[in-house]
Amino acid sequence: MTEPSPARVVIENIRPIVECGRFSAKRVRGDRVVVTANVFAEGQNVVAARLLYRTPDSPDWTAAPMEFLVNDSWQGEFTVHMLGTYRFAVEGWIDHFKTWQEGLKKKVAAGQDVSIDMLIGAGMIEDAAARTGGNVGAKMAAFAEALRNKNSSEMAVLQALGQDSTVMGLNPDLEPALRSEELEILVERPKARFSSWYEWFPRSASADPSRPGTLRDLEALLPEIARMGFDVLYLPPIHPIGKTNRKGKNNSINPSTEDPGSPWAIGSEEGGHKSIDARLGTLEDFKSLVESCSRQGTEIALDLAFQCSPDHPYVREHPEWFKHRPDGSIQYAENPPKKYEDIVPLNFESENWRALWEELKSIVLFWIEKGVRIFRVDNPHTKPFAFWKWLMAEVRREYPDALFLAEAFTRPNVMAQLAKVGFSQSYTYFTWRNSKREITEYLEELTGAVMKEYFRPNFWPNTPDILPEYLQYGGRPAFIIKLILAATLSSNYGIYGPAFELLENQALPGREEYLDSEKFEVRHWDWDMPGNLKDFIARINAIRRENRALQETTNLRFCEVDNDQLLFYMKSGPADSDSILVVVNLDPAHTQSGWIRIPLSEFGIAPGRPYLGHDLLSDEKYIWYGERNFVKLNPQVAPAHIFRLRTRVRRETDFDYFM
């Protein structure tokens, strides 16, 4: 048997790709996956390419055409309809028929004899006819025979040059062809890309200041949370809290007997990660909360904190899962200079690590079976990457709709790696990005060609751990500015409430931490306190829901404005939707003004035509002319404009419109 010759094509620069194919690129259900690659061969040979893909439930490949773009670049696409991991590859080969056609054209143009070339072409068509069969194959064979009978006539040459190569490509000669390595696309549900998170401690949900809150109290607040427009309700840990080394108010190491402790010190004689703190309620109460959320169009996100208090049953039942110091005591958690005496970390290097991994997986599956599909993972950067990759793959095999948010304020490479191994969303440094330059550079990094394929940012202006200086000193305008930025720059965002909407800005002296932090005590909030931001938040979330351009992050583009205290950016919607333009005053203390430049040509608005600017926040309208227009923003009144641009609209008034 003759050994086939090696493939002569080269396939390189395939996109989308993450780390040379080591990790999956990410999409959501319903997306078009556009694949590009360079496909070429030596000399004057003409190449062909196709895209192969397979669904998560099929071992068989589906072929999709690729079209030539320019400079050896090819493009094809497929649509993902299932959750799970799709696989795709690019296949390339020399298209001998097109190569023959191109050579024939040149010889005809040069007036050369092409009689032998016609016989060669006839043979190619006969081979293709045999592979194709049926009526199409019969017609191709007849055409080949005609070429042989009049192989040098002018009419035959013209017919050969005009032969549709698409027909030849129905069953191409793929020997020898080259297939690229298989690459992966992780497909998740749309909420992985677009979500609005709201965090609340259930123990602070009571309307009665004389007692702590419960899950039932929180359930009563759901209609208002839904009215504000949040579709994810994130709960800090709801498990029993340990007593050993329990922390008091403001992280004191000398608690009173009434102090409830930190919810992240998980585990007591009442149970561990699969139990609910009896003061909050029962599993039936939790089930009722999950069902009520569903009726309100909201989902529960549960905190997944893989750590224990010294009183956790694991400490007694599996001491090998923890590190012990020379004096026999268990090593508590530290992040110098911080100490967490009430928490002991798990030892992922334990000799019994496989059993530990399986037990932690069982915790996730336990809560999934109780109706939870979203997990906010606490400090994932302190656990092995290999563990997270394994865990999420195991969970998604059975529950592909499960989503995971990585809470990791750590080094950039570590945050990126967590996203690569499978986290659906990631906390970011947005909390501390305040200036125009900081915001622009950071967002351009997050939405750049590399990170956009795997890293989905989730912007939080505040968390129970973090009260940034910008909010401490900027007053009400600062809260509004950060809210608008978070909600319009990123398609995923969240707030820790009700501290945010009640403008809570009291911090520990010299720290970016809340004074009287809810992490260590029960708080009672006057949710309807005058000056609260609930209605404004509801308006922002409504704008997000009503405008598809704000449901993406990677469509962000910064635009020109001549004042560094003003940030101007746009988000283009899909072809059948509108675009959004946002101007924000980053200075919470002073009125700022400047000239913005609107790229009118991109929106089909002719130079010199008037158009109407409609601000979705204030409902005010402005008649503008030309690309450059003046804005003035008083942070005490309205620190931002959010314009919706409806493209190529004509009305009887003969205006173009920002709607």
Instruction: Enumerate the H helices of 279-319 as residue ranges.
Output: 283-295, 313-317
CA-to-CA distance for 243 and 250, rounded, in angstroms? 17
Please list the helix, strand and coil fractions of the chain in percent, rounded to the nearest 5, in that order: 30, 25, 40
Assess contact for 22 and 15: CB atoms under 8 A. no
CA-to-CA distance for 483 and 461, rounded, in angstroms? 7
Q: What are phi and psi of 377, to 5 degrees?
A: -95, 120
Assess contact for 293 and 381: CB atoms under 8 A. no
Q: Pick the closest to residue 62 from 81, 38, 39, 41 (CA basis).
A: 81
CA-to-CA distance for 187 and 29, rounded, in angstroms? 6
Active site residue 182: no
Torsion over CA: 300, 306, 308, 313 (sign): positive
CA-to-CA distance for 482 and 3, rounded, in angstroms? 66
Looking at residue 251, the DSSP 8-state letter turns out to be: G
**Active-site choice (95, 231, 378, 615):** 378
> How many other CB atoms are found less than 10 A from the CB of residue 477?
20
CA-to-CA distance for 457 and 485, rounded, in angstroms? 13
CA-to-CA distance for 307 and 322, rounded, in angstroms? 10
Q: What are phi and psi of 18, to 5 degrees?
A: -125, 120
Active site residue 311: no
Rounded to the nearest 10 degrees, the angle between the axes of helix 385-398 and helix 353-369 is: 40
**Active-site choice (173, 407, 587, 656):** 407
Catalytic positions are: 378, 407
